[in-house]
Amino acid sequence: MKKFFCLLFTLLFAVGTALATEQDIDAAMNEYCDNIQTSIRNNLYYRGHESAEVLVSFEVNPDGTITNINIDKSGGEAFDKAVTDAIQKVSPYKPFPEGANLSYIRMQSQFKHVVRKIQNVEQRMAIIPVNPTPQEQASIDQYNESINKIVYNKMPTYFGYIPQEAMIELKISSDGSIKSCKLLRTSGVEDYDKKIEDTYSRIKLPAFPSNLQTLKELTFKFVLYRSINSNPMNGIPVFR
């Protein structure tokens, strides 16, 4: 019985060791593939003026050589060539990790070239104050506080129940005109939503303070908090 137990323990230990080794090899191969992807990206050089996306597949042999490169989804002749050149620069890569008994592996990779177009740097900085000075930020906060009162006073009325408080986004030009009004959260009443958009698309707000006149626009979000009054003639609740 004791000998049988020792034999059984030895078999279980051998199986456990084999499973652990197999898991280690899988982990090593995953890391190997990730490193190939990283190396290709590091060798990819492309400066096209349009966004592009390439899906490419290729085979990696045990000695690290890369063969049978195929463009599965083209991103245009120039970007296809840039990706193919980057893969060829990586070959030959390092040999497979020790214990990886594979004749080859086939990989598929996606590469994206994203172009974010802006008209010019001056306009971008004018629209998006990335790092406003403390004085500018104080003026923006003060301006926001002043127009909050106007926005509330212009809130349209509705003779009926409003399920929830709407939220809007106003893009305001430097002269105080509304560039756009976007409903971010509905009130739950379609007619009231339309009334909100119509009202705030046409309002005129004060111009930016003098130290913010270099900005082309500012964007603010407003929650239209509900308040209830009574119609003095017939007692009908008025929501706004």
Q: What is the pLDDT of residue 116?
A: 57
CATH of domain 2-113: 3.30.1150
Per mean pLDDT, which range of 60-74, 83-97, 152-166 is the poorest?
Answer: 152-166
Per mean pLDDT, which range of 2-6, 41-45, 65-69, 156-160 is the poorest?
Answer: 2-6
Q: Domain boundaries in the chain? A: 2-113, 121-239
133 pLDDT more than 90? no
H-only helix segments in the chain: 2-43, 77-90, 121-127, 134-153, 190-202
Distance CA 202, CA 194 (A): 13
* CATH C-level class of 121-239: alpha beta
Question: Could you check whether 2-113 and 121-239 share the same CATH topology?
Answer: yes
DSSP state string for 158-218:
BSS---S-EEEEEEEETTSBEEEEEEEE--S-HHHHHHHHHHHHH-B-PPPPGGGTT-SEE
